[in-house]
Amino acid sequence: MDASDAGVGKLGFTLRVPIGVVGAISPFNFPLNLVAHKVAPAIAAGCPVVLKPASQTPVSAIALAELLLDECGLPPGHLNIVTGSGTTVGNAIVEHEQIAMITFTGSPEVGWGIKARAPRKKVGLELGNNAPVIIEADGDVVTAATKIAVAGFSHAGQSCISTQRVYVHEDVADAFLADLVPRVEALVVGDPLDDATDVSALISEGERDRVQAWVDEATKAGAKVACGGELRGGVLAPTVLTDVTPDMAVCSLEVFGPVVTVARYRRLDEALELANDTRYGLQAAIFTSDYAVALRAVRELDFGGVLVNEVPTFRTDQMPYGGLRDSGNTREGPRYAVEEMTEARLVILQL
């Protein structure tokens, strides 16, 4: 404080105080984990929560609330679950004057619509992505293929950071595909309750049909199906597409399904440009043994997170997770979410 004459003899510091009631709207794809990402920081920040879980998957959120309120001693009214549609419940949360902050995970269209309709509230958005990964000629092709065979198809691709766009140097593209495709073909498609199953159904038949339509559109425009592309018992098989172009929906939009696209490049400049050619900006990755190249990618890839020798699907709960542009405007992870859910209060003491 004594950096200026007016502050001599005074002590200044800030407190973090609860922002108020938090309205949380969570998606279907991780119905417990993503609820916890919103509820736990709010509890830590001292904020009551009104939570609307996804209409398709409300049960785990209700069970968590019962556990916290009935067995863990969370004060009554501190966590409130309201089930129902986004049109009814979601709109009520957005419009209610006593809700100070909204934390939303879901599609960009809905998220930015909420932001526009609630200009006086703090609105934290964690939205979509079409996660790219670059594989340089000196990268570990086998490790990349092994990780992508899981990262592109776990949860049937229904993850914001599911690996979707692969850009592989032309010198190692054939070797990469020769390793990747058999791994993807070996994935077990079937009943999600069977422990042997690797890939199961999408959340609805409508979503399955949408993803399959995007695959069909890509093949009609010149893409080739390296594997998959068909239905197996009503489930879309894990699909790898090659010879894709940036304008195809499977590249330019978020597939949110079991589809990975592979394109070749000659120069790193080209790969970085292709990876950045997106409305999204959540996480991206590069495989290379040259750390000068890796650090250049870290500087030039315009994403909230850049991973080196790892897939963009990697996440630990404690890291600052979030993106740019149509991927959102916030960072989740307990410490970072707590800061979002508090306000800084300046305190001045006369000594």
3-state SS string for 12-69: EEEEEEECCEEEEECCCCCCCHHHHHHHHHHHHHCCCEEEECCCCCCHHHHHHHHHHH
Specify the amino acid at residue 101. M
H or E element that contains 342: strand 342-350
Residues identified as active-site? 126, 160
3-state secondary structure (DSSP) of residue 169: strand
> CB neighbours (10 Å) of residue 247?
9
Tokens of 264: 């070749």
Q: What are the two backbone dihedrals, phi and then psi, of residue 209, each rounded to the nearest 5 degrees?
A: -65, -35
Element (H, E) at 150: helix 141-151
Token pair listed for 199 = 């890939």
Rounded to a whole number of angstroms, the CA Rg of the chain reads 23
Burial 288-320 (b: 16+ CB within 10 A, else e): beeeebbebbbeebebbbbbebbbbbebeeeee
State how far Cα 28 lies from the chain centre: 13
Helix orientation angle between 141-151 and 173-185, rounded to the nearest 10 degrees: 40
Using alpha carbons, select from 6, 65, 11, 7 the residue that is nearest to residue 36.
65
